[in-house]
Chain A
Amino acid sequence: MSRVLGRIFVASLARRRLATALSLVAIALGVALGLAVQIIHGAALDEFGRGMRLLSGEADLQVSGAREGFDDALYGRLAMRDEVADASPIVELEVRLPGHERSLRILGVDALRVAHVHPALMPRVAEASRDDDGALAALQPDTLFLSAAAQAELGVAPGDRLDVLAGTRVASLRVAGSVPGAGQGRALAVMDIAAAQQLFGRSGRITRIDLRLKAGVDVAAARSALAAGLPAGVEVLTPRAAEQLAAGLSRAYRVNLTMLAAIALVTGGFLVFSTQFLAVARRRQEFAFLRALGLDRGTLMRGLLVEGAVVGFAGGVLGVALGHGFAAIAFDVAGGDLGAGYFRGVTPALRVDLPASGTYLLLGVLAGVAGAWLPAREARRMLPARALKSGDEARMFQFRPQPRRAAACLGGAVALCLLPPLGGVPVFGYLAVALILVGAVLILPMLVRGATRIAPRHRQALWRLAGARLAAAPGQAVVAGAGVVASVALAVAMAIMVASFRDSVDRWLTAVLPADLYVSASPQGTSGVLDPGALQRIAALPGVTRTMPVRFDTLRLDDRHLPVSLIARPLDGGRLLPLVGQSVPPPAGERPAWVSEALADLFALGVGGRLVLPLGGQPVAFRVAGVWRDYARQQGAVAIELADYRAATGDLAANDVGVFLAHGASFEEIAAAVRGILGENTVRIASPGEIRAQSLAIFDRTFLVTYLMEAVAVLIGLFGVSTSFAVLAIARRKEFGVLRHLGMTRPEVGRLITLEGVLTAAAGTTLGLVAGTAVAFVLIEVVNRQSFHWSMDLQVPFGGLLAFAGAVIVLAGLAARVSGFQAMRGSAVLAVREDW
């Protein structure tokens, strides 16, 4: 057996080197992409989790609420509880630094408590600062401690001073030492909690309380006991649950990329299929002969499967090596979230992931074996006596039309689209995409057959030959064309989706940026604020007709979801929001709230539903007046009228303010005036155009990796087309030889091959366009809806798609032509030689 395997089966791979190499490369790319995504996200998640664990220290439970925090009286109450051994209050702030793009995370801790719960956050006083106050430096109000990474990034050392923005004021703090426990690569600062509250205007408010329970206390029981007495909007979670919630935010994105890698891998498997299928057709007489000599069916089938496995294994090994390389490059270029922004500030380290490598190697082998499966079964079923006759391989290519199966696939796809996601992942949506592709491939033979029937009767021998061939052996068109269908469909789907998405985002940005000038004290979720005085002075500037202050917060609505964003600003009854559908005003006396699509999905809310928001420590009831589109906050957002917010909280500050300019007022002059009021470098001032351009740039960066992986999958598919043509052309050398004997010139045979390639590709492309549009629809309406909870308007870039389709057809014709040329390189005499 092993000798037969080596001599007959595996050795045959070496005989068709080009096809084998292409299949191998395709599998390697699939494995590499999948593994790289896995390694990168694995490392980023690990690091992310480590960061969160560092911050939670030895806490058994964490009490947290809105970003703006909650009343610190709760700390005293919880610290007294019987179950609690230690309680550590924290104020967590993302503070802007004047003149710096990046912000600094400052943790205000209680120096006496932190040692028991968060030993890693213990500040260490630098020698230089020690002389006068000694260890008590930690309690000094104007000092802070920087982790090594933060010192390096900001270029300061203990003893230096660091400017930070408190509201819109600049405060100067002394760097008194370091935070040795923070470890490598984590930039953070620690300071006294009271000092932080005072400095940043958070008197009496904290954002988190970490609890260590007494020995023997059941965590779950303690959690429910503590939860009962918490004010509105404050929840108690185990650090593990908090970590899982946070990691869950990026899950859909990670699954999405893994799916794209899987598509590349499946395309690789498909390539193995088409080359093996054609090879089996070509070697049919050889196999029949071997069977006649006494080789049994099982060995034959196994031998062919081993061929596939060998290609898969080699591709897998190459892919694992490539995958680590890709991951290393991606870390350098895009960071741990591949540029999508989920793990900002996390700098994970690359390492060899053995279990993942093993898994992906196995997947490579599986792809190879799966690709070899159908051809091997075909060879196993063959009747040697018949197969010994030449021309019997045509039987393999007859491909009975399977309208039932095609219909079943498409029907199944529709049904799957109606199912809800599994664990937030649109599993059924992805399956529907797969079924659409399979259905399209099943339709291909019918389409080819139908097309040859209705095609005009041509007198030219070329057309007759090509037509007769496609009609009699649509299977060949399928093998060569299925790659076209799949890659065109994927490319088309992606193009439509991205065009729709980008267009929708663009229009959304226009809708959410109605003002002429934006002043932001808290870009990217930092904790800067504009006080009421500043707001008034901006509103009073000459040339300003109207201002639109915006207050942001994040609110915890329950303990099963991440905190959602609160946006309080003048909304004009919802008219200033990018609404989906109508805004329905609430009954008199009730407050309206407009929820984002994500919030509506995640909390199962509809228009007219009741929504309770914890504002100012109190539950405040709202009525959902409408749903709006939000591409910025995947965990959900709720917009309320600023007046309602102020009434409920008494908080008159704002984070941003949109400024409407009088006719003729200049942007530059107003911007300068605002800077005059607030000081240089304290706020970011931008025009809606700038914000839009920036946002679209971020959008493009987020999808860059997606595009790249998509491009690879499409490339592999087109590879497949040329391999199929190459193998087909070699298998048909004899036929070309006969045609040359019968008086066809080489160029004529070349034209025949090109024509067949073009016809096949045209059928495949047509089907690919249709299937791709269907897939795009599923991506938009199911996959994106379920993954990210955002909707978009379908937008088909017709011109680009037609150009792409034309290019694919031309390329396929060229590929066929080139491979045909290779097949004809030998003389016609040699081609028919065996018996001449």
Chain B
Amino acid sequence: MFEIDDLKKGFGSAGTSVLFAGLSLRVQRGECVAIMGESGVGKSTLLNCMAGLESVDGGSIRLDGTELVGLGDEALAGLRRHRFGFVFQAFHILPHLDVAQNVALPLWLLDADDARADRCARAMLERVGLLDRAGDWPRELSGGELQRVAIARALVHRPSLVLADEPTGNLDPGRAAGVLDLLLECIRDAGAMGILVTHSRTAALRADRILRLSPGGLLPEAVST
């Protein structure tokens, strides 16, 4: 369960430019939520706040009952290590680790032993259909493949919450659909929660709910099905 209450965030001194205030959100286990909104409205900032990477001006953020607001750097990092998964628009696969090592990275950070890290990474790669590329270098992969590696990396350590910021923004529409389906499937399979920011309505439609971010807060988007 991921809960946000009365969240306030702005930039500039004394919150001169408030991005959002009084923002609330509830996400259940196994649920995937899509967030849409104009460019510059603060979607990325919101995701960063959720991950504890950005400070907030007020409100509360709780993951499975743990309050994030007010936690120290160390504790937040530990929380991210254990409970969060990330998918970035530009993939951010580390160039000097091979594909399997990139996927195993979160397990390394959790001090898993080699055998287990490798086993889990391979299982995850198999899940995203890239087991045969395990030993390749990232530069030998296409964008779609890289994002699948990123999905594997985001889920390999069984996080409770996966945050994805425009995960298909760098992919062509044909590939985007496949990658997005894979991401959502993986999240649901793992019984995790997913929050994805996207510009694409078709992408958003695959989520369980669509919310629109505006300065007033997160409003449910009417979904015409």
- State the A residues within 8 Å of B (CB): 386, 389-395, 397, 457, 459-461, 464-465, 468-469, 472-473, 734-735, 737-738, 740-746, 748, 827-829, 832, 834-836
Question: What are 7 A-B pairs with beta-carbon distances under 8 A?
Answer: A389-B139, A394-B139, A461-B108, A464-B108, A743-B78, A834-B90, A836-B44
Residues in A whose Cβ lies below 8 Å from that of B91 = 390
Secondary structure at the A interface, as helix, strand, loop or mixed, is helix
For the complex formed, measure the closest distance between the CB of A400 and the CB atoms of chain B, giving whole angstroms.
15
Give the total number of A-B pairs whose CB atoms are below 8 A apart: 105
For the complex formed, measure the closest distance between the CB of A335 and the CB atoms of chain B, giving whole angstroms.
55
Q: Are B90 and A459 in contact (CB under 8 A)?
A: no
In the complex, A395 Cα to B106 Cα: how many Å? 24
Q: Which of B16-24, B58-66, B97-105, B209-217 contacts A (4 or more CB under 8 A)?
A: B97-105
- State the B residues within 8 Å of A (CB): 44, 47-48, 51, 53-54, 73-74, 77-82, 84, 86, 88-98, 101, 105-106, 108-111, 113-114, 137-139, 165-166, 169-170
Q: Are B139 and A829 in contact (CB under 8 A)?
A: no
For the complex formed, measure the closest distance between the CB of B143 and the CB atoms of chain A, giving whole angstroms.
8
In the complex, A393 Cα to B74 Cα: how many Å? 32
A469 to B, closest residue via Cβ: B96
In the complex, A743 Cα to B92 Cα: how many Å? 15
The 7 closest A-B pairs by CB, nearest first: A743-B81, A391-B95, A394-B95, A743-B80, A835-B89, A745-B77, A461-B108
Contact for A465 among B108, B110, B137, CB less than 8 A:
B108
In the complex, A601 Cα to B94 Cα: how many Å? 61
Q: Are A743 and B53 in contact (CB under 8 A)?
A: no
For the complex formed, measure the closest distance between the CB of B100 and the CB atoms of chain A, giving whole angstroms.
11
In the complex, A741 Cα to B93 Cα: how many Å? 12
Residues in B whose Cβ lies below 8 Å from that of A829 = 48, 53-54
In the complex, A392 Cα to B141 Cα: how many Å? 11
> A745-B73, A835-B89 known; A472 and B80 CB under 8 Å?
no
Residues in B whose Cβ lies below 8 Å from that of A738 = 88, 92, 94
In the complex, A503 Cα to B97 Cα: how many Å? 51
Contact for A734 among B48, B54, B92, B137, CB less than 8 A:
B92
In the complex, A565 Cα to B26 Cα: how many Å? 99
For the complex formed, measure the closest distance between the CB of A429 and the CB atoms of chain B, giving whole angstroms.
40
In the complex, A395 Cα to B95 Cα: how many Å? 9
In the complex, A773 Cα to B79 Cα: how many Å? 51
A395 to B, closest residue via Cβ: B139
B90 to A, closest residue via Cβ: A835
B86 to A, closest residue via Cβ: A741
For the complex formed, measure the closest distance between the CB of B176 and the CB atoms of chain A, giving whole angstroms.
15
Q: Are B139 and A740 in contact (CB under 8 A)?
A: no
Q: Are A743 and B109 in contact (CB under 8 A)?
A: yes
In the complex, A735 Cα to B88 Cα: how many Å? 13
Q: Are B88 and A393 in contact (CB under 8 A)?
A: no
In the complex, A389 Cα to B111 Cα: how many Å? 31
Residues in B whose Cβ lies below 8 Å from that of A744 = 77, 81, 109
The listed residue with most A CB atoms (<10 A of its CB), out of B109, B110, B111, is B109
Contact for A828 among B53, B110, B170, CB less than 8 A:
B53
Contact for B94 among A735, A746, A834, CB less than 8 A:
A735
Q: Are B111 and A394 in contact (CB under 8 A)?
A: no
Residues in B whose Cβ lies below 8 Å from that of A395 = 139
In the complex, A25 Cα to B45 Cα: how many Å? 42
Residues in A whose Cβ lies below 8 Å from that of B97 = 465, 468-469, 472
In the complex, A229 Cα to B98 Cα: how many Å? 86
B51 to A, closest residue via Cβ: A741
For the complex formed, measure the closest distance between the CB of A464 and the CB atoms of chain B, giving whole angstroms.
5
Residues in B whose Cβ lies below 8 Å from that of A735 = 94
B97 to A, closest residue via Cβ: A468
Q: Are B108 and A394 in contact (CB under 8 A)?
A: no
Q: Are A743 and B137 in contact (CB under 8 A)?
A: no
Residues in A whose Cβ lies below 8 Å from that of B93 = 391
Residues in A whose Cβ lies below 8 Å from that of B48 = 829, 836
Q: Are B106 and A743 in contact (CB under 8 A)?
A: yes
In the complex, A350 Cα to B80 Cα: how many Å? 67
Contact for A742 among B95, B105, B113, B137, CB less than 8 A:
B105
In the complex, A389 Cα to B47 Cα: how many Å? 26
Residues in A whose Cβ lies below 8 Å from that of B44 = 836
For the complex formed, measure the closest distance between the CB of A217 and the CB atoms of chain B, giving whole angstroms.
80
Q: Are A391 and B138 in contact (CB under 8 A)?
A: yes
For the complex formed, measure the closest distance between the CB of A406 and the CB atoms of chain B, giving whole angstroms.
23
In the complex, A378 Cα to B166 Cα: how many Å? 34
In the complex, A804 Cα to B139 Cα: how many Å? 40
In the complex, A742 Cα to B81 Cα: how many Å? 6
Residues in B whose Cβ lies below 8 Å from that of A390 = 90-91, 95
In the complex, A828 Cα to B47 Cα: how many Å? 13
Q: Are B109 and A461 in contact (CB under 8 A)?
A: yes
For the complex formed, measure the closest distance between the CB of B117 and the CB atoms of chain A, giving whole angstroms.
9
> A743-B77, A829-B48, A836-B88 known; A394 and B54 CB under 8 Å?
no
Q: Are B113 and A459 in contact (CB under 8 A)?
A: yes
Contact for B88 among A391, A461, A468, A832, CB less than 8 A:
A832
For the complex formed, measure the closest distance between the CB of B153 and the CB atoms of chain A, giving whole angstroms.
8
For the complex formed, measure the closest distance between the CB of B34 and the CB atoms of chain A, giving whole angstroms.
17
Q: Are A459 and B109 in contact (CB under 8 A)?
A: no
For the complex formed, measure the closest distance between the CB of A338 and the CB atoms of chain B, giving whole angstroms.
48
> A740-B53, A743-B84, A829-B53 known; A468 and B101 CB under 8 Å?
yes
In the complex, A605 Cα to B77 Cα: how many Å? 77
Given A391-B139, A472-B97, A835-B90, output 14 extra A-B contacts at Cβ < 8 Å.
A386-B139, A390-B91, A391-B93, A457-B114, A459-B111, A459-B113, A460-B111, A469-B97, A740-B53, A743-B80, A743-B84, A743-B106, A744-B109, A745-B74
Residues in A whose Cβ lies below 8 Å from that of B109 = 461, 742-744
B138 to A, closest residue via Cβ: A391
Residues in A whose Cβ lies below 8 Å from that of B92 = 734, 737-738, 832
> A469-B96, A827-B53 known; A740 and B111 CB under 8 Å?
no
